[in-house]
A and B are shown apart, each in its own frame.
Chain A
Amino acid sequence: QKEVEQDPGPLSVPEGAIVSLNCTYSNSAFQYFMWYRQYSRKGPELLMYTYSSGNKEDGRFTAQVDKSSKYISLFIRDSQPSDSATYLCAMSLSGGSNYKLTFGKGTLLTVNP
């Protein structure tokens, strides 16, 4: 079993739709959870960053973490064609030298106008 599982998609939605992306993980020691957006042939861009369980909202984006289920989600409201990209979940252990990120494979999202 991989440490982080993410459905690679592809996921295709019409403009304005609500998009739900998610990852599951096996290591209960993960404390920090992130979502990155990566456009083709570009480096990942940090979208959301959460610590431990709970919700976090930023504009059209909402990140949820459920540590009891080892499940994290990213919701995109009112999706736009510019949201078309690969979305990567990432997580890391807490503190000290354990800052290395473990990534999911990424979900390719296409928002159609």
Chain B
Amino acid sequence: GAVVSQHPSRVICKSGTSVKIECRSLDFQATTMFWYRQFPKQSLMLMATSNEGSKATYEQGVEKDKFLINHASLTLSTLTVTSAHPEDSSFYICSARAAYTDTQYFGPGTRLTVL
């Protein structure tokens, strides 16, 4: 149980375009979803926390207008990187927390490359 999927697994785009990444909890309802970014050989850095039906809470230094998060249902959250630039190239990972647990289950990640 506790499977989280992400789509796409890899995306390459041109500078200035927008990219949407989906995160789904497949076998449980996720009251809270988290979005992380991970640079090579670095740890995961939390970008934002989203609760179903409410606005996301962004960490300090994360541009909310650039990284749009929508948690439309208890099983789906999306991250849209708007007007992507090469410096946004990174590994983006989501996680989901079920209502009955304190643990987070992570998706497989999405590798974004902006040319």
Q: Which residues of B contact A (CB under 8 A)?
A: 4, 6, 32, 34, 41-44, 46, 49, 91, 93, 95, 97, 102-109, 111
Q: In the complex, are the beta carbons of A41 and B102 less than 8 A apart?
A: no
CB neighbours (8 Å) of A104 from chain B are: 43
Interface SS of chain B? strand
Given contacts A88-B44, A99-B32, A100-B34, is CB(A42)–CB(B104) below 8 Å? no
Given contacts A44-B93, A99-B32, A99-B102, is CB(A105)–CB(B43) below 8 Å? yes
Q: Is A17 an interface residue (CB 8 A)?
A: no
**Interface residues on chain A, number (Cβ under 8 Å):** 22
Given contacts A44-B44, A104-B43, A105-B42, is CB(A99)–CB(B97) below 8 Å? yes
Given contacts A88-B43, A105-B43, is CB(A43)–CB(B103) below 8 Å? no
Given contacts A41-B91, A44-B93, A92-B102, is CB(A103)–CB(B43) below 8 Å? yes
